[in-house]
A and B are shown apart, each in its own frame.
Chain A
Amino acid sequence: MNTDNKTIRRFRIKMAALLILKNILAFATVWGLLWGTVVIVLRATIGMPPLALLTGAIGLIVGIGCAVALALRHIPTRTALRASLDKHSGAGGLMMAAETVELGNWRRQMPLIKPPRLRWRGGAYWGRFLGAVLFVCISLLIPQRFVEISKAQPLDIREEVNELADGIDVLKEEEIIELAEAKILEDKLAQLQAEASGEDPVKTWESLDHLADTLSQEAADAAQDALSETERLTEAETLSEGLINEGSEMDAKLLMESMAALSGLVQEAAQENELFAAQLPDLAGDGDSLTLDQLKEISAALRLTKSDIYDRLVKLREVNLIDLETLKACEKLGQCNSDGLAAFLAENADSKSVVECISGWCRGIGRGPGHAPMTWSEDTTEEGAKFKAEALPLSDIASLEDSEIVGLSIGTPSVNTSSEPSQLGGLSGATTGGGSSFNQTVLPRHKRAVKRYFERP
């Protein structure tokens, strides 16, 4: 091999090495970006572990092979390289001619052939390659929670769910709801928490509100029962305390009537409240003659039972199932004041029964319910009466958010000067002149509360 061919060979190897390096960097950059993208997509969609995705490196090896093959295909021919050497050595065509003709004496006059310098501006290639490597590393090392998009973004309702769960527990514990019903509510709550999605928070919030309403309604019914019971217990306690403190001031007849009334109230309460029944002393014998000790025990049992009822309401209040006013009402209804009761009974016993007197004593003077009998028709349905929950479309919500106050009226409220009576509130639907009844459709679940209110003695 002569010097020319050696030079050309060295030059060719150098150029091949540069082309191979360039192709490898270019391919590795493209592969890195592709690989990193696939890694992120697979991790995000199916949660594939990063270690399994390292197999993508096999593609890199294959690609490097392809890059080398491609580079070898693009290596200039020996003739072209010879021409390049001729040009950069200033051989004036002699080196090119040497490929096909014998130079003879010209070889001695030919300038020294030196391989030209190859300069590759590969900064951009290296930059892009390092960027791709960084991208692959990030795609593999980034924590799963940052790339997971398979699940919708969860809505954080843990606080609300815990609150409702506490409410259910309290209702279950206090036997306000059946265990089966509590189980259903708990399942609903668990399902709601699982399906809570940030994509549709309105639906979740509505469901939570619905569940909270259900619990609140149950609690409100229970609280109403508790208030009524507290009221009755307080009446019995008042009578009992009155008999203990002022029984000696009563005449025999009034004392006997009071003892009978207390006995009736106590038995009625014992039927309704198991705790009270358990605390109640043995009232064997004639109920009209209770001993002082029995009266004291009855008072103590009544106080204990009222305290238990109050504690239940406190628990309901603690889980926000009833409002503070209900709790205060219970506390007020539970206050017992028997000072002067004997005199009050002596004064009113002729016109009213002892029970009515006690009721009036405890409640004070009020307008009270009407005496008209209540007639209940067949059960109503919730069709048309119940508020139908309907989620507003998102666009409407957005429009509400964008709404603006266009003005406020500061005019004086108008006064109705008509001689006709106003038909508002409880008189709505009643005809003037009397003789008519007020008809109101109530929901089945409200029937008990309405009945209880109007049927109070």
Chain B
Amino acid sequence: MSENKQSENLLQPEELSPAVELTEKVLAELDRVLLGRSALHRMVLIGILSQGHILLEGVPGVGKTALVKALGQLLNLDFNRVQFTPDLMPGDIVGTHILQQTPDGHREMSFQAGPVFTNILLADEINRASPKTQSALLEAMQERSVTLLGNTRALPSPFFVLASQNPIELEGTYPLPEAQLDRFLFKLIVPHADVDVLDDIISTRRRGEPPVPTWSMSAGQLNQLFDVMDRIFLPKPVSRYISRLTAATHPNASETTEDVKKYVTYAASPRAAIAMAEASRASALLAGRPTVGFEDVKAVASAVLNHRVILNYQARFDSVDTFTIVDSLLATLDETDLNLPDDLEIRSA
């Protein structure tokens, strides 16, 4: 039996430990820089390890930009910030050709790279730009390249878009279309800080300025993390669970819930299942395991699915949000797919 097993593929503890230590170090540093955001830091790091783009939603002043800046410093990656405004043009992001005179007196069009040519792009208040400008990011986010005048240019690797949007002051904003939302691995809600955290901030931070990270990761270490990520094992029952969970967001699915049937208009795409699998791997890595468990899927499911499941007006009338829908799915769907009768249940010994 053991002859058939792929013994060389599973990460051994001694291989995994350095990667886990690195992630713990990043998380500790982030927690030191930004107070009271441990869960958010964990999800952001999962997103980075999954090489996915993250949409941060929160009111102004909760530390979205500070988080992205600290992350860039910690990962030792190039970081550009673009403040999206209604008059922002695609060329302002991806770059443009300008006429320049060469030393020999000739003139030629030379490409002036935009801010997208970086490792981490902070698209601040992305929903304030026009759809035309928002769509300029589509290729960059999916293909990690930019095509201008028929000339395709690869973006630096790794490339992450960390966008932020404000859930209030929606007048004059352009909600992101589903196609663009689907390209974000996570949509993370950045909540208000509680009293203890606020107390810590004002007592320890002069003018609220966060401390500069004292440590940063090298490019090699980052690549090492990505290599470890590739070797995190996804067991078949877990991948099956991810597939069933994604399919269950469809109102016509066999394993769906009454809430989904009642409130969901558009279900999650296959890209959601892929994102969930990747994010689950990263979650397992952060937990120090070489294999993905059901708990990893459950940890990332809401962040992966909440912006991909589109609800109808009835849900708005009944004050039902996507988190409620995803929670009901997670509570209802049996991870192990045992298909046991309702009156038969398994309890941990």
Contact = CB atoms under 8 A, between A and B. Distances in A.
A21 B48 CA distance: 51
B336 A92 contact: no
B337 A80 contact: yes
B176 to A, nearest CB: 34
A87 B292 contact: no
B289 A92 contact: yes
Interface string A311-343: 000000000000000000000000000000000
Contacts of B235: 83, 86, 93, 96-97, 99-100
B338 interface: yes
B336 to A, nearest CB: 4
Given A76-B339, A93-B293, A96-B238, A88 B10 contact: no
A80 B338 contact: yes
B5 interface: yes
A22 B5 contact: no
B2 interface: yes
Interface in A113-143: 114-122, 124-125
A82 interface: yes
A97 B336 contact: no
Contacts of A18: 344
Interface size class of A (residues with CB under 8 A): 35 or more
B31 to A, nearest CB: 23
B236 A105 contact: no
Contacts of B344: 18-19, 22, 118-121
Contacts of B291: 92-94, 96-97
A91 B292 CA distance: 10
Given A76-B339, A92-B289, 14 more contacts: A76-B340, A81-B338, A89-B348, A92-B296, A97-B10, A97-B233, A100-B6, A100-B235, A101-B233, A102-B5, A106-B10, A116-B346, A117-B348, A120-B343
Nearest to A83: B237
Contacts of B337: 80, 83
A101 B5 contact: yes
Given A74-B339, A102-B7, A105-B12, A118 B238 contact: no
A33 B341 CA distance: 23
B266 interface: no
B236 A106 contact: no
Contacts of A120: 343-345
A46 interface: no
A103 interface: yes
Nearest to A108: B13
A197 B336 CA distance: 67
B323 interface: no
15 contacts: A76-B339, A80-B337, A82-B237, A86-B235, A86-B293, A88-B346, A96-B235, A97-B10, A97-B291, A99-B236, A101-B6, A102-B5, A104-B10, A116-B346, A121-B343
A122 B341 CA distance: 11
Nearest to A88: B348
A117 B10 CA distance: 30
A102 B294 contact: no
Interface of A: 18-19, 22, 74, 76, 79-84, 86-89, 91-94, 96-97, 99-106, 109, 114-122, 124-125
B233 A117 contact: no
Contact of B289 (A84, A94, A114, A124): A94
Interface residues of B, number: 38
B139 interface: no
Interface in B202-229: none
A117 B292 contact: no
The 7 closest A-B pairs by CB, nearest first: A93-B291, A102-B7, A96-B235, A83-B237, A92-B293, A93-B293, A84-B336
Contacts of B10: 97, 101-104, 106
Contacts of B339: 74, 76, 80
B162 interface: no
B349 interface: yes
Nearest to A114: B349
A105 B346 contact: no
B342 to A, nearest CB: 9
Contacts of A94: 289-291
B347 interface: yes
Contacts of A117: 346-349
A82 B345 CA distance: 16
B236 A100 contact: yes
Interface string B8-45: 01101110000000000000000000000000000000
Contacts of B5: 100-102
A14 to B, nearest CB: 10
